[in-house]
Amino acid sequence: MNCPECGQSVPDIATRCPNCQAHTAAGFGSTLPPRASQRDSRARLTLHLSEITQGFERFFRTHGLPETWLSRRIERYLASPELWLSLILPGSGHIYLGRVILGGLLLAIATAFLIGLVLLFGDEFITNVNSHLLLFGLFLGIVHMHVWSLGSRMRPGSGGTLPRGTATVLIMVVVAMQFTLVETVMRRQFFGLADQIYIRGQAFWAPVLMPNDLLVIQAAPAGDIARGDLLMISRTICERVLGIANDIVELKAGRITCNDLPLIGTHSQPLMEWGTAYVPDGANRHYAIDHQRTAVPQGHIAYLWWGREIRTVAVTETHGRIVGISAPPERRCRFENGRPLPYPQRTFTRYLWGW
């Protein structure tokens, strides 16, 4: 009797081929009922699972696997079709070769990886995804090489298998192209809405913002800006919004009011106090103004410029609203109307990636 998978001669009573471990139609195997001493629930469950598994394998061996005329015709024009299927959809190559359970498991793992990457890219507070992409790449490389070696064992000496060197180069090129595509799509879809900027220099805005903080900046229209929000006015100025359109902001003897209401709350006062000497050299040439009354035009906001005077700027000319701090980890937080709130723990990605 010949093996239905690799064609090697096997004993008539063998239930598996010694070469490729494929099930054969001969032998007794699980066709006989269990002995009386083994007729318990566990033995019956094992028997049923074995029969179901063999039924699936027999079905896939006779419907679209390499023993059919379609698969033979494909292999006549395309070497290692299981590898090409795996490159398109991880796990599909194993299903093509009849390893249905293993192929389904690999497909589920690949799907979990992709879901995790989508969630990570969608998190504007993420700082680096290179390690996650590298781990996914190693997984894909192992899956593709395994399906190629499995196909070469199932058709020994056949010209329908790619050489090892060619298969290795093909896997590396396709995986690199897939990573480039995934990263490009993800960054355009998610990272295009936010920017991350490091604070350099001295602690001008301590303790709210500190040097080496990685700020998450998000573009926001003027209508979404509220008093108390933190804005990055320029690459060197970060300040709190003291007034929005149509507000009257007044500075008198170091006391700031908005529409005749004093700004006395911790999260309503400017980041830098009025008249402070802890400013860059360029600002030291300007004296701190003792009295000033400013009306905020439409589309503008008012802020305290280096503790010297009230200035207004168009929202479209700023870099955007500071929505939080993503690094270092001990300072990670999200700003809600200028108030630092602890950043919520990740759920799915935390367990998937060990965070």
Beta bridge partners of 334: 324, 341
Domain ranges of the chain: 1-63, 75-189, 195-344
Q: pLDDT band for 35, please (50, 70, 90 cuts).
A: low
- Alpha-carbon distance of 129 to 352, in angstroms, equals 13
Residues 325-335 pLDDT 10s? 988 878 889 99
Least Cα distance to 179 among 113, 270, 277, 263 occurs for 113
DSSP 264: -
pLDDT reading at 119 higher than 60: yes
- Alpha-carbon distance of 162 to 144, in angstroms, equals 12
219 phi-psi bin (left φ>0, alpha ψ -120 to 50, beta other): beta
Query: What are the C-alpha distances in Å from 151 to residues 86, 147, 273, 339?
Result: 12, 6, 72, 59
Looking at every residue in the chain, the average pLDDT score rounds to 79
Alpha-helical runs (H) found in the chain: 41-62, 69-77, 81-88, 92-96, 100-122, 130-154, 164-189, 281-284, 348-353
Q: Does domain 195-344 have CATH number 2.10.109?
A: yes
Residue 153: per-residue pLDDT: 84
Residues 254-304 pLDDT 10s? 899 999 999 888 888 999 888 887 777 667 667 888 899 999 999 999 999
Residue 257 or 48, more confident: 257
Residue 100 or 27, more confident: 100
DSSP string, 85-150: HHHHSTTHHHHHTT-HHHHHHHHHHHHHHHHHHHHHHH-TT----HHHHHHHHHHHHHHHHHHHHH
- pLDDT (mean) for 27-31: 43
Q: pLDDT band for 314, please (50, 70, 90 cuts).
A: very high
Which of 92-101, 112-121, 232-241, 249-258 has the lowest average pLDDT? 112-121
Q: pLDDT band for 28, please (50, 70, 90 cuts).
A: very low
